[in-house]
Amino acid sequence: MSILCGKDILRTDLLSDEELELILSTAARFEGVLEAGGRLTNMEGQVLATLFFEPSTRTRLSFETAMLRLGGQVITVADPKTSSAAKGESLADSMRTVEGYADVIVIRHPQKGSAQEAADAVAVPVINAGDGTGQHPTQALLDVYTIRKEKGTLEGLTVTLAGDLKNGRTVHSLVYLLARFGMRLLFVSPPGLEMPADITADLRKMGAEVSEGSDLAAAMRQSDVVYVTRIQRERFDDTAEYERLKGSYVVNMDMVRQAKPGIIMHPLPRVDEIAPEVDAYEGAAYFRQAANGVPIRMALLALVTGRE
């Protein structure tokens, strides 16, 4: 039985090194089977509920693809307006209800901490697909999986994380994984959107080398991986402030040509942070990164239900 059987996946800082390696190796095994044209039936007879109280393309659809690729079935709330949350039902009551229908639940919700609240309400495994400005652990896992595939290692790399580091839950999850591998982390953000100080302090306590600044081109000249994020309009109370900051960074081919050769990642969706001309660059990894969501989420579904 897997060490992750019956567990919730809520935050990357709660995963042990052993659990992380198990997720990555299981994903690689599943991906190999699919690439060889094989068929998997690990989740046959099981039902996944995907409850999305915020918009999503990649996370919801890749979880659903993962479940279908493992022979399981899916029920979904893709639009909260169509669920009884719109009538005022509490999150805990919704979770207790869905627990009667599904063997594993994936939830995205606008409130930080909501995934923990959801998990506390039920006995079935709960996977956090993004809780407000909190964490997005499955994105971070597929990001690490992507870096290892693209660069061939996770050791000793320099990684730039750029954009809205204050509100970006993907980077809040990712940095806790990168710090375990002795990576050098360069944080680049416009003033006011810096990485939260408690996270930076945690990373330094873990022994990570962390630098903060606002010059993206300079950071790119030193980096093996450049991880670009969107300025998160939905997290701003002040629209004028969003409008002022939204174009702070745009990666274009001039910048790429002057940078250290490496890969460019983005959790997507992008708005205008990476110019479309960059898509043809061989190191533009963001669509390959999105595709890696399927094997990683296959691994997570199988591991937390003990069906790996």
- Annotated catalytic sites, by residue? 58-59, 87, 108, 136
- Give, rounded to a whole angstrom, the gap between the first and last alpha carbons of the chain: 9
- The least distance separating ligand CP from the CB of residue 13, rounded to whole angstroms, comes to 19
| DSSP code at position 213 | E
97's tokens: 């209800």
Nearer of residues 131 and 308 to ligand CP, judged by Cβ: 131
- The least distance separating ligand CP from the CB of residue 231, rounded to whole angstroms, comes to 15
Nearer of residues 135 and 189 to ligand CP, judged by Cβ: 135
Nearer of residues 130 and 134 to ligand CP, judged by Cβ: 130
226's tokens: 């450049």
248's tokens: 């702070």
Using alpha carbons, select from 304, 143, 307, 156 the residue that is nearest to residue 227: 143
The torsion angles phi and psi of 23, rounded to 5 degrees, stand at -65, -45
Task: Give the whole-angstrom CA distance, residue 155 versus residue 148.
Answer: 9
Radius of gyration of the chain (CA): 19
Task: Give the whole-angstrom CA distance, residue 266 versus residue 142.
Answer: 11
Using alpha carbons, select from 216, 145, 133, 144 the residue that is nearest to residue 174: 144
Using alpha carbons, select from 135, 147, 145, 162 the residue that is nearest to residue 220: 162
User: Are 145 and 292 in contact, with CB atoms under 8 Å apart?
Assistant: yes
Using alpha carbons, select from 107, 185, 195 the residue that is nearest to residue 147: 185
Nearer of residues 69 and 307 to ligand CP, judged by Cβ: 69
Nearer of residues 63 and 210 to ligand CP, judged by Cβ: 63
CA torsion angle 221 226 231 234 (round to 10):
-170
- The least distance separating ligand CP from the CB of residue 139, rounded to whole angstroms, comes to 5
Nearer of residues 244 and 270 to ligand CP, judged by Cβ: 270
- Judged by the rule CB under 6 A, the positions of this chain that interact with ligand CP are 56-59, 130, 139, 267-269
Encode burial over 112-149: b for 16+ CB neighbours within 10 A, e otherwise: eebbbbbbebbebbbbbbbbbbbbbbbbbbbbbbbbbb
- The least distance separating ligand CP from the CB of residue 150, rounded to whole angstroms, comes to 17
